[in-house]
Structure 1
């Protein structure tokens, strides 16, 4: 059983940075904070993080943000209506529930990192896995 706990700690430390990233960016996407709508323009970093979450690309695609792009018929497409007010109560409640779950996932992951770093005998291995789990996706995204 102790080997299973050790492997659980190592896998968790390696995966923790990505889990934190997806929990955070997923929480932002619940309320469309990564996309432009109405008068709201998301900060560039939030927009880029949303693209990373959805498309695994960190760059902004500026032509997607034009409010009236021509269609195949040559006419200007109208932007989609801002339907924030049209969201049903059960859908809104589900979004808030998922936000609560995302926050719980962040808290649980941070506690797991703390437990993994403080209760593993091989501290260097634990830190190496945590750093590798952070740097590998950052390096791949930068390429």
Structure 2
């Protein structure tokens, strides 16, 4: 067997088992990222929506690698508007959001795009796992590596 053939075979094997090991986390990131792009993991001001605890916890794990939810500080009360003298122009307060945010921008197309990207990643990883399992010559090794890819992140959560 030539050196280039041996290198290609080794590269394919490493790619296969690294893909199997990382597939569970890629699926997790695709699902939680897709849900986060629509803001389903957090409450918004002026809304009665409260996200499910599991969704908020998984979003926190996605973003901060921990399931511990930070305590939110109470919003300070808005200061009363001072009455200005007639010869002094009044300054309008900035909106509660970011000062540089452009009002009226439609975010739905970009959110939809990222949701479709998450769905594409989910489909791609799932089909890759199926093909790796279906055409595997070593199903026990496939199962062991997949189990390791699921259990290692769960065990790391204990630390």
Structure 1 residues 4 and 40, CA gap change in structure 2 (3 angstroms): same
Higher percent of residues as helix: 1
Report how far residue 32 of structure 1 moved.
0.9
Report how far residue 55 of structure 1 moved.
0.7
Equivalent positions of 1:98-137 (< 5 A) are: 98-137=114-153
* Residues 1:88 and 2:95 are matched in the alignment: no
Structure ID, larger Rg? 2
CA RMSD of aligned residues (A): 2.0
The runs of 5 or more residues in structure 2 that have no matched partner are: 1-7, 80-95, 98-102
- Which of 6, 14, 17 does residue 10 from structure 1 map onto? 17
Which aligned runs of 4 or more in structure 1 are off by greater than 3 angstroms?
Answer: 75-78
Instruction: Give deviations 1:65-123, integer Å, cap 9, x for gaps.
Output: x6x34xxxxx4479x56xxxx6623x321110111010010011001111111212121
- With the length of structure 2 as denominator, give the TM-score of the two structures: 0.73
Report how far residue 14 of structure 1 moved.
0.1
Decide whether the 8 Å contact of 1:10 with 1:116 is kept in 2: no
Partner of 1:97: 113
- With the length of structure 1 as denominator, give the TM-score of the two structures: 0.81
Report how far residue 125 of structure 1 moved.
1.4
Partner of 2:49: 40
Decide whether the 8 Å contact of 1:6 with 1:120 is kept in 2: no
